[in-house]
Amino acid sequence: MAAKGQDKKTAASIVSRRDFLRAGGLSVVGLSVAEKAALARLREQSGRKNCILLLMTGGPSQLETFDPKPDAPAHVRGPLKSIETAVPGLQFSEAFPRLAERANRLAVVRTLHHDAAPIHETGLQLLQTGRLAKGETKFPAFGAIAANALGSRGEIPPYVVLPKPITNTGVNIYRGEGAGLLGDAFEPVMVTDTADGAATDDDRDASESMPSLLDEAEQTRRAYGDTRCGRLCLKARQLVECGVRTVTVNMFDRLAGQLTWDCHGRAPWGSGTLYDYRDELGPAFDRAMAALLDDLASRGLLDDTLVVATGEFGRTPYINEHGGRDHWPGVWSGLLAGGGIEGDTVIGRSDRLGAEPQDRPVHVGELTATIIKLLGVDPAHTLTGDDETQVAAAAFSPIDELIG
């Protein structure tokens, strides 16, 4: 029987950082039974918990996603119908029938909010770091925090962003997905989706040869859907399976010039309308996330992989003159599954118009703290920056109802 250190060396040699950077992430499809076992032991030795954040870039409307208000006036409830879910009394928008069927696996937080400026950049910072930058001090994303506190599994990069950083959100400031004060050593590896965007020249880009989706069974690829969203979710599963601790999936890496969740109903920013939630955005996301949950479960990875889906804020509780909704950090919804989270759970309740929390308000920084805690990092753990600045890993306490 091989010694424990030998097991670790074997697994690390299979999935070295060099191989990852050359191959853009290592598919486990071609590994032998012994190599897969070594990889599993390495994950066990270095902490099993993982996280996939499905970042619904642009700020999806709470009313057209996971907190519909069917009894509200028409100018509030919007054009989409509500549907029942597998959890009695819990309704989703008609755009998410697959997630509705899997609601007993989900925890729904309906009172996320923040009180900073209603712009994408503040929401993205608060969601990913739990804090707003102070002057030149930028705080690290939870993925960088886990990389710093827990290290990597062998030489596998611990923190990956798919497909690349978010740009063109309106204001050119920090968006929260970097390592901030922790320094370059903990920056995420970028895995560019070559089907949807060009690779960069960044030496931390790992996209020269992504684990081929053709290595996956046709049935699996079909389950996720042949969409940007489906491909990114499938890649996220591949990366977690090969040992990446945290994967942030930017559903859209820019807002201008394409359809995103930023549904103002007018160009150049957010030209989509609420009907696009029903006809395009919702169905692609619904299919991809449902497939991700099923796929992780079938591979024995869901219990150890926290899946979080949310945006950087919500939308106004009234429809604007262009048939869209505008920025609204007063309340929005998020989904969590796996990673030790109990399903069949609803945290908080918004008011009858979906405008603000009615009970159990949850600051978005509490969600960040929850992710940090479930990854295995003490929220009170002290982070020391390159300049010797010291801060706690989390600025807020975790959501107690989700930790158990």
Confidence of residue 197 (pLDDT cuts 50, 70, 90): very low
- Number of compact structural domains in the chain: 1
Over residues 287-307, the pLDDT tens digits come to: 999 999 999 999 999 999 999
157 found inside a domain: yes
Per-residue pLDDT averaged across 258-282, rounded? 91
Residue with tokens 């977690």: 240
Output the CA angle 35-21-148, nearest 5 degrees: 85
User: Pick from 290, 308, 350, 227: which is nearest to 100 by CA?
Assistant: 290
Confidence of residue 212 (pLDDT cuts 50, 70, 90): low
Confidence of residue 235 (pLDDT cuts 50, 70, 90): very high
Over residues 39-83, the pLDDT tens digits come to: 565 555 556 799 999 999 999 999 999 999 999 999 999 999 999
18 found inside a domain: no
348 found inside a domain: yes
Alpha helix locations (H) across 78-163?
Answer: 97-101, 120-129, 142-150
Q: Rounded to an integer, what distance in angstroms lies between the CA atom of residue 264 and that of residue 45?
A: 47
Determine the structural domain holding residue 139 and report its residue range: 49-403
215 found inside a domain: yes
Residue 124: CATH number of its domain: 3.40.720.10
44 found inside a domain: no
In the predicted structure, residue 281 carries a pLDDT above the cut 90: yes
204 found inside a domain: yes
Residue 391's CB is within 10 A of a number of other CB atoms, namely: 19
How far does the chain reach from its first CA to its final CA, in angstroms? 38
Residue 49: per-residue pLDDT: 95
Per-residue pLDDT averaged across 315-344, rounded? 96
Q: Rounded to an integer, what distance in angstroms lies between the CA atom of residue 181 and that of residue 187?
A: 10
Residue 268: per-residue pLDDT: 74
181 found inside a domain: yes
Residue 198: per-residue pLDDT: 36
CA quadruple 174, 178, 179, 180: dihedral, nearest 10: 0
**Where does residue 75 rank: exposed (0-12), middle (13-18), buried (19+ CB within 10 A)?**
exposed
15 found inside a domain: no
